[in-house]
Amino acid sequence: MTHVKLSMAQALNQALRDAMRADESVLMFGEDVGALGGVFRITDGLTAEFGEQRCFDTPLAESGIVGLAVGLAMNGMRPVVEMQFDAFGYPAFEQVVSHVAKMRNRTRGRITLPIVIRMPYAGGIGGVEHHCDSSEAYYAHTPGLTVVAPGTVADAYTLLRRAIEFPDPVIFLEPKKLYWAKDEVDLTVAEPGIGKAVVRREGADATLIAYGPTVPVALEAAEAAAAEGRQLQVVDLRSIVPFDDETVCAAVRRTGRAVVVAEASGFASVSSEIVARVTERCFHSLAAPIRRVTGFDIPYPPPKLERHQLPSVDRILDAVDDLQWDDR
């Protein structure tokens, strides 16, 4: 085993580097990803190692970036593109929904698009609107797209490697506030792939369901609850589409109570879908309605107010308290 201490940003950089070394068809491009190495330095050093033909800057035109990726993928390449910030991807949304997501179905499987669209997403860095959106619901709602969101350093590496190897398009959501989170990891260990959720913490009283930036918050809440005598289980989805019903539902059936934790606004959201499908599958095992802790249904607030928007330990514990504990 080879343990190294890496930040999530370094793990993502290593995943790109290893994928480009392993496969000459892998390309990386986007705004300022070349010599600068990207706003968050995820592509730092890739142009120096692989040259400007394989890691290069593009004009500030997200629709053109994704359109170029479609053409390259149709001709045998594996493009990885970066949307500089989450909401910067909206000008490319028509390309993503109308072409990236539909090409396999449109051509009856004759043409597939192995494209990875990386998006630094969600809040927690003191950014303003267009820099802190949680846009996963738009992509999760679009058939033909796979959507993943790592919540740990090890998963950042593993899921990006699996996404680049994937035969179809993947929306890869990178929690910005976790870019500098560090952990001891062994990159040679095979972690679960796309489509598999994992239980990050065992607990018998209630289940917290989280993904991406809310995984550490859920774990912190579970730690605080344990100090008060309540044992909370934490499930990390890792993959939003495909959704791992088996792992999530088994976890909820073990505890009978659940809270979904997500940064995105709650209305018509991924958290809404999770509550619906878990309720449909686990209704007779539930001791209380499933609660949600989400962002509010407002445009993303200015930096000094974002702490109120983001799910916190206190908000999670308040939701757990509301899970009808009369039988305990």
Which residues are part of the catalytic machinery?
131
- Phi-psi label, residue 222: left if phi above 0, alpha if psi -120 to 50, beta otherwise: alpha
Residue by residue, DSSP assigns 173-185 as: EEEGGGTT-EEEE
| Radius of gyration of the chain from its Cα atoms, rounded to whole angstroms | 20
Q: What residue ranges in the chain does DSSP mark as E strands?
A: 3-7, 26-30, 55-57, 78-82, 116-121, 146-148, 170-175, 182-186, 198-201, 206-210, 232-236, 239-241, 258-265, 291-295
Angle at 195 between CA 245 and CA 236, to 5 degrees: 70
Please state at what angle helix 214-227 crosses helix 313-321, rounded to 10 degrees.
60
Q: How far apart are the first and last CA of the chain?
A: 44
**CA–CA separation, 17 vs 314, rounded Å?**
39
Q: Which residues of 246-255 are buried (b: 16+ CB within 10 A; e: fewer)?
A: ebbbebbbeb
